[in-house]
Structure 1
Amino acid sequence: MIDRRGVITALAASATFPLATRSVFAQAAMSRMTAYSFSFQGLKGGDIRLADFAGKPLLVVNTASLCGFTPQYAGLQELWTQYRERGLTVIGVPSNDFGAQEPGGAGDITHTAEQTYHVSFPITAKTSVKGPNAHPFYKWAAAERPADLPSWNFHKYLVGRDGHIADAFSSRVEPTDTRVVTAIARALTV
């Protein structure tokens, strides 16, 4: 779990240091957090609390309905179907950040995911995944893996049982690619 006192102490101490030093403290505090510290608003209401999946691997994927990679929903559903009984949760995070390829609302996203691709894994409300307005999970992921930032739709973060990013896969890597399946199998056995 999060060492809240440590985070608060680091942030409080950082107020007495120059701005450059403060960012080091903020990054250190952020790195002690885990993915299980975050929640997303659900596409159909309510919250998707990652704490509800603590100790289990997560595959968090930023999605878009009008992207050339949108057929990857089928592969994500295949992973969800194959591995959910063993503990994997797949979470789709619709985002309009890349090429404005998620312009619609919840109904449009639901239609694409559920009716076109028969997705049954959790999907969040439309969320920003890059820049200053990025969801806190994505800001945390950027601190965890600065070389593995989403550069397009269908970027995949695999979160291990420890709550930290175990691996990341670009949009070009299909969900059912051997590299992804191997990483998931490893995360499930650790």
Structure 2
Amino acid sequence: MNRRSLIATLTALPVLGLARAGVAQESFRFDSIDGGTYDMAEWRGRPVLVVNTASLCGYTPQYDDLQALHDDYGPRGLVVLAVPSDDFRQELSSDEAVAEFCEVNFNLTLPMTTITSVRGSGAHPFYRWLRDTYGFEPGWNFNKVLLDGEGQLVQTFGSNTRPTSRRILGEVEALIGA
């Protein structure tokens, strides 16, 4: 689908309760910036790196590394999901603008959601689950959350940790059996 033909409504449909640590990745859905929905249940058995992003942030060049991870490790099982958020007031004004910015400047082909809240009471259920179950809430843009194939938290990484850092690559390779 064309990124410009997206539906701007965020749908978050948790299947299971959010407070249990055993809630697996199939519990969450995100609206795709391309239209349609990403159902994390479809990624069962695959590690997933979820990254809250913003187009106007100093860390935005990390999109290049996210795309490289997607290109290099996607065929081996890794899913890289970008979650644009304006919680830190550094995102463009619409999903269409974000999609165009990422396509023109980074030629992104990795999965990307609509603009989504990642903090506070209005946070997407996935991020509320992270906060309530693991005590993790993004402190800034480009925080990274690595899940195993069962949807359980493996590790979180701050904004300063590049997606292609040894720390992240080591965890990813351990999960995909490299």
Q: Same fold (TM over 0.5)?
A: yes
Residue-by-residue CA offset, 1:118-157 (whole Å, 9 max, x unaligned) = 11011000000000000000011113321x3210000000
Alignment coverage as a number of residue pairs:
165
Q: Output the CA distance in 2 between the equivalents of 1:52 and 1:187.
A: 17
Q: Output the CA distance in 2 between the equivalents of 1:140 and 1:187.
A: 22
Q: TM-score, normalised by structure 2?
A: 0.87
SS where residue 128 of structure 2 aligns? helix
Q: Output the CA distance in 2 between the equivalents of 1:155 and 1:118.
A: 21
- From 38, 41, 50, give the equivalent of 2:28: 38
Which position in structure 1 is the counterpart of 2:54? 64
1:130 correspondence with 2:119: yes
SS where residue 158 of structure 1 aligns? strand
1:106 correspondence with 2:95: yes
The answer (yes or no) to whether the contact 2:145–2:155 under 8 Å persists in 1 is yes
Q: Output the CA distance in 2 between the equivalents of 1:80 and 1:164.
A: 20
Query: What amino acid is aligned across from residue 126 of structure 1 in structure 2?
Result: I
Q: Output the CA distance in 1 between the equivalents of 2:132 and 2:175.
A: 21
1:118 correspondence with 2:107: yes
Which position in structure 2 is the counterpart of 1:157? 145
Q: Is the radius of gyration larger for structure 1 or structure 2?
A: 1
Q: Output the CA distance in 1 between the equivalents of 2:126 and 2:58.
A: 25
Q: Output the CA distance in 2 between the equivalents of 1:33 and 1:125.
A: 23
The answer (yes or no) to whether the contact 1:96–1:128 under 8 Å persists in 2 is yes
The answer (yes or no) to whether the contact 1:31–1:143 under 8 Å persists in 2 is no
The answer (yes or no) to whether the contact 1:144–1:165 under 8 Å persists in 2 is no
The answer (yes or no) to whether the contact 1:153–1:171 under 8 Å persists in 2 is yes
Relative contact order higher in (CA < 8 Å, ≥ 6 apart): 2
Structure 1 gap segments, 5+ residues each = 8-25
Query: What amino acid is aligned across from residue 146 of structure 2 in structure 1?
Result: L
SS where residue 21 of structure 2 aligns? helix
SS where residue 90 of structure 1 aligns? strand
Q: Output the CA distance in 1 between the equivalents of 2:162 and 2:102.
A: 17
SS where residue 31 of structure 1 aligns? coil
Query: What amino acid is aligned across from residue 171 of structure 2 in structure 1?
Result: A
Higher helix share: 1
Query: What amino acid is aligned across from residue 64 of structure 2 in structure 1?
Result: A
Which position in structure 2 is the counterpart of 1:74? 64
Which position in structure 2 is the counterpart of 1:18? none
Q: CA deviation at 1:75?
A: 0.3
The answer (yes or no) to whether the contact 1:44–1:106 under 8 Å persists in 2 is no
Structure 2 gap segments, 5+ residues each = 1-14
Q: Output the CA distance in 2 between the equivalents of 1:38 and 1:94.
A: 16
Q: TM-score, normalised by structure 1?
A: 0.82
